[in-house]
Amino acid sequence: MKINIYYGGRGLIGDPSLTVIKQMVSVFRELNVKVERFDLFEHKNEMTKLPQTLKEADGIILASTVEWHGCGGYMASFLDACWLYGDKEKIASLYMAPVVMSTTYGEKEGELDLINAWISLGGLTCQGISGYAPEAAELENNEAYKKLIEDAAGDIYRAVSRRVKSLPTSHGVVRQVVYRTLNTTYTQDETDRLSEYASDEKYVEKQKEDIRLLADLFKNKLDDGGKDSERIPDLFQKHFKAKSGTDLKYKIALKDASKALTIRIEGAELVIGYGEAVNPDMELTMETSVLNEITEGRKTFQGAFMEGKLISRGDLANLRLLDELFPFMDDLLTGGRQ
């Protein structure tokens, strides 16, 4: 018989949970129980691999200390890993006993939280122990307390060895509904290997670097504008209808590209390109797809504004004038004839 102990405290000297664990281990060894302890704070960088250690255990103890509120982050991370990477069939046969000591208050809440979490995972629970002890010395020097701890260890041993039965709980139904969204086509072996990768810092950094390179690649494509960066200015030049006395500067910012389209009109002269416009008379903001619809004659600037697909800043009269200066839709209907 083997019992794994998962300690979720910070490993501080005088931690009462460590005192309880130490006394329990002595009892288990007298009963020829193999005990293996995992200090979670030492495994924080490989937490996703720890659920694999459940496979050889017959029962486990989740031990933690409530220092101010709850059982602490290390224990929560371990339980998260069990939910994501743990073998649910193995967990379903594992008895868990909580050991929660408080140096302030909240030991009962912490104990109940661990019990509920383990039941939600599909595991079995048995009676553990919880209490208040601001100093570990109170437990070490009190024979009555030591007896209670030894009795608790004996109860855990009997519950695990005899496979004590209990009535089903509603957590099982909830778990089936919630866990359904986490089902994957991965085998358990593949899941184990994925969890090993997830805990490998070098592998994770390599993946992050690959993602950054891909992001830069696509960003450069957006910055360049692809074919659109060359096609759009040509379309504006082709459909330009000069109006005498016009002296305007437009800036069209594209949400999915870093470069803005700038249009400078002085009478019959049109200058258009990508860059920064200094003090434009009107600024327009839209997606490249919306600008494509306009240049293809399927929508007007004013129509896009009315649909909420274009944001403008400046005199709206200049927005209406833009449709007159570049009548893409009219040219489409007339076949481009003057």
Query: What average pLDDT does the segment 310-315 reach?
Result: 90
Question: Residue 70: its pLDDT value, please?
Answer: 87
CA angle 272–278–282, rounded 5-degree value? 70
For residue 60, list its beta bridge partners: 4, 96
- For the chain, which domains are there? 2-191 (3.40.50.360), 228-334 (3.30.1050.10)
What token pair was written down for 105? Answer: 């208050």
pLDDT band at 321 (very low <50, low <70, confident <90, very high): very high
Say if residue 217's pLDDT is above 70: no
Calculate mean pLDDT across residues 97-116: 94
CA dist., res. 53 & res. 57, Å (int):
8
* CA-wise closest residue to 229 among 239, 238, 221, 219: 221
User: Which band of pLDDT confidence, cut at 50, 70 and 90, is reported for residue 218?
Assistant: low
Q: Is the pLDDT of residue 224 over 80?
A: no
The pLDDT assigned to 338 comes to 45
Chain segment 181-192, per-residue pLDDT in tens: 454 555 556 666
- The CA-CA-CA angle for residues 145, 148, 152, to 5°, reads 140
pTM for this predicted structure: 0.54
Among 149-163, 224-238, 284-298, the minimum mean pLDDT is found in 224-238
The 10 Å Cβ neighbour count of residue 209 is: 10
- Say what the pLDDT of residue 81 is: 93
Which pLDDT band, with edges at 50, 70 and 90, does 176 fall under? Answer: low
User: Average pLDDT, stretch 9-26?
Assistant: 93
Candidate from 38-47, 80-89, 161-170, 287-296 with smallest mean pLDDT: 161-170
Question: What's the mean per-residue pLDDT of the chain?
Answer: 85
User: Given this model, what pLDDT does residue 337 score?
Assistant: 47
